[in-house]
Amino acid sequence: METEKALWDYEIEEIAAGYAEEEAVYRCVFCGKEYEKGKIFQEEDSLYEASGAVRAHVRAAHGSPADWLLSGNPAGAGVSEIQMRLLRLLSEGGTDRQIAAEMGITPSTVRNHRFKLREKEKQAKIFLALMRALGHKLKEESTKQVRAEEWLMNTDQGRLEEVHPAAACVDDRYGITQQEREKTLKTYMKEDGTLKQIPAREKKKIIILREIMKRFEAGRDYTEKEVNRILKEIYEADYPSIRRALIEYGFMNRADDCSVYRAAGTAQGNGGKK
């Protein structure tokens, strides 16, 4: 079983040949025997360099790569017991009639099995190509992600803003960089902290709402009248819309009877909901 597991470390061509060439040695993929490059070895009463010696070893010790693989567990090759037996008989040069007689089936059944095995070979090629392509894609995506993270960590302009703790749904609207924040505040807010207008785009609106929340103390209960007074100072033209947005975007919690407001992420009295 350990030998079968080791096979997965080799390429298909190496398994089919029975050996693999490594930096300093040639290695039998079936038993792990090594032949160091640059040395002479005796195999089958003959002298060989490492590459010839490993091939001679495979013949002498394992018959051939096909013989060794055919002697293994059918499940390891992804075939049934019947299909493995048929493959063994094929490797011995049996005809359809001879194989049918040996297995107690009809020649047409043998031909049907051979067809299924050819289809399995085609499917295996596509599956291997799929897995390799998927591996390449995942590697590329991983590389892109690492590069993006490095850029965000090493570039002040690209550093993401933290998401407030009570955000109900964190999506790309919260993927806000420091550069975006500064640009939005400059565009929509005056130097005295009042709001020029409410942004239409949600990401920009979130930036403004976060800035407005700096006017509220964490852990303190506010009445609706107090909330309105603070928001009027910021944007008297439509402070109710800002109040609703603070609730909808999860920046503030409000009691069921609208009597108490509190900054999200802190405990609230009077039966408030989050």
Placement of tokens 């939005």 in the chain: 184
- Comparing CA positions, the residue from 67, 71, 70 lying closest to residue 58 is 67
- Comparing CA positions, the residue from 257, 258, 274 lying closest to residue 168 is 274
Report how far residue 51's alpha carbon sits from residue 63's, in angstroms, rounded to the nearest whole number. 17
| 0.75 exceeded by pTM | no
Write the single-letter amino acid at 188.
Y
What's the pLDDT at 147? 64
pLDDT in tens, the chain (274 residues): 344 446 778 888 899 999 999 989 999 999 999 999 999 999 888 999 999 999 999 999 998 899 899 988 888 788 889 999 999 999 999 999 999 999 999 999 999 999 999 998 899 889 888 888 888 888 777 776 666 656 555 544 444 455 555 444 444 555 678 888 899 999 999 999 999 999 988 889 999 999 999 999 888 899 999 999 999 999 999 999 999 999 888 888 888 888 899 887 544 444 344 3
